[in-house]
Amino acid sequence: MDTRLVTIFGGSGFLGRHTVRALAKAGWRIRVAVRHPNSTFFLKTAGAVGQIAAVKCDVTDPDQVAAALSGADAVVNLCGVLTQRGQGFEDVHSDGAHNIGEAAARAGVKAVVHVSAIGASAQSDSRYAQSKALGETRLRAAFPAATILRPSIVFGPEDNFFNLFASLARFVPVLPLIGGGKTKFQPVFVGDVAAAIARALDSEPARGKTYELGGPNIYTFKQLLQIVCKETGRKRLLVPVPFGLAMWNAFFLQMGPGPLLTVDQVRLLKSDNVVSPGALTLADLGITGNSVEAEVPSYLWRYRAKGEYALLADAAKFKA
């Protein structure tokens, strides 16, 4: 096992579990810094005995961040929120990134990898995108050599996109095409993002650079929902919903617990979420992206009417 230690902030989430697994496989000793250490117990089996440990840390507290970085050789920041419940966008995306950058600089950390998002922009109408952009700026001001990764929609077995719509398709006859379903996305496989993080940590040329991570194909929102319907074997009406009406609905939906849609998310859907022309990409890190078609069927089968036996049932019906 490698003697190097990496602190991963926000390592218990969807991307976190795959990042921990990738870095453990690469031999790193891993310290997972999260607000609730008991949420990391499942990560222990991703490495050897003693290779992965958890510490309590709130990234909005500079002292806790400094303590979590003590003795670390490298840092990965995966902290992010999609809705403003408890901690807001600026708290986590901006203040948290700033605290990590300053603490890393004081601690003499060699490499920092910060995961942001495609679409991060101070000019965006979305507070999420604004806070992501501000976080990048403040992090780089404190730690200029930080590598920034901006993924499009990240998909994989535990994602909150394909799983969400596949789950909805089980119970509702209609799926909404917000803005007509014309917004473009370039979904990137979670394993490829985790691999990019591992490569960036060990790459001197990657320091101080920004990479936009997208998969091999671009899809409209409508095409992605069509894939969901196809893989789950469900025929659903895809109904266009104008942005204005979606904003109105989101205003009320965001008030409930675990909101399905917020006003800020509707604002995000007004802009395409694809890799910019001329941007550094997965290929520049030596990674070939996996497609939606190659990965999504491996986990959406659980939403089919007969689950894992759906194909067997269809084959039996055909033989009969």
**Residue 240 structure tokens:** 């266009």
Residues in a beta bridge with 54: 32
pLDDT value at residue 1: 58
Domain boundaries, the chain: 5-155+188-216+275-290
* Rounded percentage of the chain residues whose pLDDT exceeds 90: 88
128 closest CA partner among 266, 293, 303: 266
**SS3 label, residue 50:** coil
pLDDT of residue 312: 53
| Contact call for residues 66 and 44 (beta carbons, < 8 A) | no
Q: Which of 146, 188, 250, 197 is nearest to 18 (CA)?
A: 197
Distance from C-alpha of 105 to C-alpha of 119, rounded to nearest angstrom: 27
As a whole-number percent, the residues of the chain with pLDDT over 70 amount to: 95
Q: At 193, list the tokens.
A: 């993002």
User: How far is Cα 232 from Cα 228, in angstroms, rounded to an integer?
Assistant: 6
Task: Give the residue, 222 or 260, on which the prediction is more confident.
Answer: 222
Burial of 320 (0-12, 13-18, 19+ CB in 10 A): exposed
First and final CA of the chain: distance in angstroms? 56
In three state form, how does the secondary structure of 217-258 look? CCEEHHHHHHHHHHHHCCCCEEEEECHHHHHHHHHHHCCCCC
* CB-count burial class (<10 Å; 0-12, 13-18, 19+) for 3: exposed
How confident is the model over 112-161, as pLDDT tens digits?
999 999 999 999 999 999 999 999 999 999 999 999 999 999 999 999 99
Instruction: Confirm if 187 and 215 have CB atoms less than 8 A apart.
Output: yes
Neighbour-count burial for 263-294, b at 16+ CB within 10 Å, e otherwise:
bbbbbbbebebbbeeeebbbebbebebbebee
pLDDT value of position 313: 52
Query: What is the pLDDT confidence band of residue 85, given thresholds at 50, 70 and 90?
Result: confident
For 173-187, the pLDDT digits (tens) are: 999 999 999 999 999
Tokens 């803005």: give the residue. Answer: 179
Kindly tell me the sign of the dihedral angle through the C-alpha atoms of 193, 196, 198, 200.
Answer: negative
CA angle 132, 211, 53 (to 5 degrees): 70
| Residues contacting residue 175 through CB under 8 Å, at least 6 positions apart | 165, 168, 169, 225, 228, 229, 236, 237, 238, 239
Is residue 59 pLDDT above 60, yes or no? yes
pTM for this entry: 0.93
Beta carbons of 49 and 1 less than 8 angstroms apart: no
Q: Which CATH superfamily is domain 5-155+188-216+275-290 in?
A: NAD(P)-binding Rossmann-like Domain (3.40.50.720)
